[in-house]
Chains A and B, each alone.
Chain A
Amino acid sequence: MDLSIEDVKKISALARIEIEQQDIDGYVRDLGGILGLVDQLNSAETDEVTPMAHPMDQVQRLRVDQVTEQDQRELFQSQAPQVEAGLYLVPKVIE
């Protein structure tokens, strides 16, 4: 299956990744190649097969509802690009 330039622009918007104009043709070509590889799956016989989500079909382990983590806000925020008064700063969202 081939993708169009518009498809790639739409996918990159969904993925929140800016793609430079001059790179779009390359992504159209490369993603088309990967989809060509993936299209081989159409020849597999998958009726009546249960999808496999986990190699050992384990279910989610539950834990006791107890607080186990300490507050490490300052340590974590030391890695942030911009913080103020314990809050992460981003450009204004609501005017």
Chain B
Amino acid sequence: MHDKTIAEISAGLQGRKFSSVEVTRAFLARISQFNEELNCFITVTEGEAIADARAADERIAHGTAGPLTGIPIGHKDIFCTRSIKTSCGSKMLDNFYSPYDATVVSRLQDSGMVMLGKLNMDEFAMGSSNETSYYGPVRNPWDLTAVPGGSSGGSAAAVAARLVPVSTGTDTGGSIRQPASFCGITGIKPTYGRVSRYGMIAFASSLDQGGPLSRTAEDAAMLLQAMAGFDPRDSTSVDHPVPDYRASLDDGVEGLTIGVPSEFFDQDLDSEIAALLETTIAEYQRQGANVKEVSLPNVGFSVPVYYVVAPAECSSNLSRFDGVRFGHRCEDPDDLLDLYTRSRGEGFGAEVKRRILMGTYALSAGYYDAYYLRAQKVRRLISQDFHNAFEQVDVLVAPTAPSVAFGIGEKTSDPVEMYLSDIFTIAVNLAGIPALSMPVGFVDGKPVGMQLIGNFFSEGRLLNVAHRYQGVTDWHLRCPNGFE
């Protein structure tokens, strides 16, 4: 059961080959068998899951089920879930039981999906390795001494180890794609505004976007179908029709023009990763696609732009955690200022504090023009580079990460070194465009991902192009040793 895709589980449920309760119990058993070792889940909601599975079975029996009804899922613990602990990986919210559901959660609940629990993540989604979580690091099922990537590390590792068939994640600078790459699965960051941010705890509001993590592009298409769409509760949600993503999966790639940005394929790229990407591009050529070299001249500024914009927005967003209305409060405050400073000093971990301080500095009197304003201007240049490229090509390819999964503890001493692990993913968030990561091979026994990047609202095309590759390869179906 645990090796099935959600397309297969859906067919089995509709064909009455098994019930949602049976599927749910099978995955709950996987979680109790492996979670202690991997630390993917912060909260397992076994009781609620069985009740939801029973309700799903009734819907299936009454003929009112949709394609996702009865299928288990895990949510990144950044999505608010009513009456269920929503920690965001932080001590600050260790005692927080959200009074409402995020739109993503309620949409998937309405579709009949069965939530198995809340998945581990870097604290407030700030990290590239899942090591900043208050709940401890997640282990990569391909190598238990390696990180799963981050910030959606629990979401990616749980799918790779078959503890859940699919999961939700969020991506501010690569937090869906980089862990998908490190764990050998598929993940897509949709266009900014495609998926509602309501109830998704904010980190950097102009960059944050939720999306699915799955083994196959087809599963990602099914999940995104239910997640996407206009939400009046999110003021940045875009009112744009959601196409049938699954219907276009099999479209041919003949005549598709794939752009290869020279800046991503320079001499600094690991040669074994470069070779796997070249093989993948050659497969698309074999299927009739054209390849064209393009240039993104300002993309090298992405990481510095991001480390102004994201901390600035984070320092503003995280000001709401003040120890007054919810979350951690220090013991016996002397006065109001002491209540604020100690509650925040105790509740936030080191990386979150670093980013709040960096953002506070960048926005403080006298520095705004030099940092935030300048970064927003360079952000425009990066965005224009992509627009220029999409006048010549349909999709771009890029590495997802500069390396395979690195060791736990290997990069924790130098924040800047950790930040550079997102060097290939950040530009996409700055431009607001969609990108997908899919597995294209292995180096040293660990998975390598490749990005497909498209113009605004081209999620259907990206899923289609990934699906065409997955139809003739099996990297996305490989299972880590010990988790078969």
> Cβ of B416 and Cβ of A33 under 8 Å apart?
yes
Contacts of A14-53 to chain B: CB distance below 8 A: 14-20, 23, 26-27, 30-31, 33-41, 44, 46, 49-53
A58 CA / B354 CA spacing, docked (Å): 31
**B419 contact from A37, A49, A54, A60, Cβ within 8 A:** A37
> Cβ of B416 and Cβ of A91 under 8 Å apart?
no
> Cβ of A75 and Cβ of B99 under 8 Å apart?
yes
**A16 contact from B206, B322, B419, Cβ within 8 A:** B322
| Residue in chain B with minimal CB distance to A56 | B432
A24 CA / B361 CA spacing, docked (Å): 15
> Cβ of B354 and Cβ of A17 under 8 Å apart?
no
With A50-B380, A91-B339 as known contacts, state yes or no: A17 contacts B326, CB within 8 Å: no
Q: Is B266 an interface residue (CB 8 A)?
A: no
With A16-B344, A34-B354, A34-B416 as known contacts, state yes or no: A76 contacts B99, CB within 8 Å: yes
Contacts of B392-427 to chain A: CB distance below 8 A: 414-416, 419
Contact count band on B: 35 or more
**Contact digits for B349-382, partner A, Cβ 8 Å, 1 yes 0 no:** 0100110111011001000000101111111110
| Residue in chain B with minimal CB distance to A83 | B325
Contact count band on A: 35 or more
With A44-B298, A46-B381, A90-B339 as known contacts, state yes or no: A60 contacts B325, CB within 8 Å: no
Q: Is B345 an interface residue (CB 8 A)?
A: yes
Which of A18, A33, A88 gathers most chain B CB within 10 Å? A18
Q: Is B34 an interface residue (CB 8 A)?
A: no
| Residue in chain A with minimal CB distance to B234 | A61
> Cβ of B99 and Cβ of A53 under 8 Å apart?
no
Q: Is A81 an interface residue (CB 8 A)?
A: yes
> Cβ of A11 and Cβ of B416 under 8 Å apart?
no
* List of A residues within 8 angstroms of B324 by Cβ: 80-81, 88, 90
With A15-B315, A36-B416 as known contacts, state yes or no: A52 contacts B357, CB within 8 Å: no
Q: Is A85 an interface residue (CB 8 A)?
A: no
Q: Is A86 an interface residue (CB 8 A)?
A: no
Closest 9 CB pairs of A and B: A55-B432, A18-B345, A51-B376, A81-B329, A52-B380, A79-B326, A46-B377, A18-B341, A15-B360
30 interchain pairs, CB-CB under 8 A:
A11-B360, A17-B345, A17-B348, A27-B354, A27-B357, A31-B361, A33-B414, A34-B416, A36-B416, A38-B308, A38-B371, A38-B375, A39-B304, A40-B301, A40-B304, A41-B308, A41-B374, A41-B378, A44-B374, A46-B377, A52-B380, A56-B193, A58-B193, A58-B236, A58-B238, A76-B325, A79-B96, A79-B326, A81-B326, A82-B329
Query: 11 new A-B pairs (CB below 8 Å) besides A44-B381, A55-B431, A63-B232?
Result: A15-B357, A16-B344, A17-B348, A18-B344, A19-B353, A20-B345, A37-B307, A41-B308, A56-B193, A80-B324, A92-B335
